[in-house]
């Protein structure tokens, strides 16, 4: 579970935000989740991201340039710019907005294939 794969099998480019377990965030504000974005994937491209703690769960949200969205029930704040922030450090700045992330169980899958 060292790396998580994101594969774009969709017909257009997509951008992925993700959330991973990070104890340093827990020390900062009590909730040990780090939110990062964006992984930009052209069609048929794969990129990996580290899972430095080896935690079983990863969360992700993706948008295609055609308006496609892969979302779920786990809320996180993101911005359109490249970012990294602890999930518990909320902000009221208008550049940040909430998305719903999907849960990925790395004991079952090593990544996500966006179709």
pLDDT digits (tens, 9 = 90+) for 26-62: 887 888 999 999 999 999 999 999 999 999 999 999 9
Q: Which of 30, 11, 14 is nearest to 87 (CA)?
A: 30
Tokens of 90: 């909320």
Asked if residue 114 belongs to a domain, the reply is no
- Does residue 64 belong to any structural domain of this protein? yes
**Residue 113 domain flag:** no
Single out the residue of 10, 3, 80, 12 nearest to residue 47, CA to CA.
3
Q: What's the pTM value of the predicted model, to 2 decimals?
A: 0.93
Pairing mode, strands 14-21 and 57-64: antiparallel
The range of the structural domain enclosing residue 44 comes to 3-107
**Does residue 56 lie within any of the structural domains?**
yes
Summarize pLDDT for 60-104 with one digit per residue, the tens. Answer: 999 999 999 999 999 999 999 999 999 888 777 889 999 999 999
Number of domains comprising the chain: 1
Provide the pLDDT for residue 1: 59
């Amino acid at each position: 579970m060292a790396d998580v794969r994101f594969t774009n099998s969709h017909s257009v480019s997509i951008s992925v935000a993700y959330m991973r377990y990070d104890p340093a965030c827990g020390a900062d504000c009590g909730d040990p989740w780090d939110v990062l974005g964006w992984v930009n994937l052209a069609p048929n491209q794969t990129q990996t991201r580290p899972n430095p703690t080896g935690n079983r769960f990863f969360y992700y949200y993706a948008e295609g340039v055609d308006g496609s969205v892969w979302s779920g029930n786990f809320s996180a704040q993101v911005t359109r710019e490249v970012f990294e922030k602890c999930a518990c450090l909320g902000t009221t700045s208008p550049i940040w907005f909430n998305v719903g992330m999907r849960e990925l169980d790395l004991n079952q899958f090593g990544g996500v294939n966006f179709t």
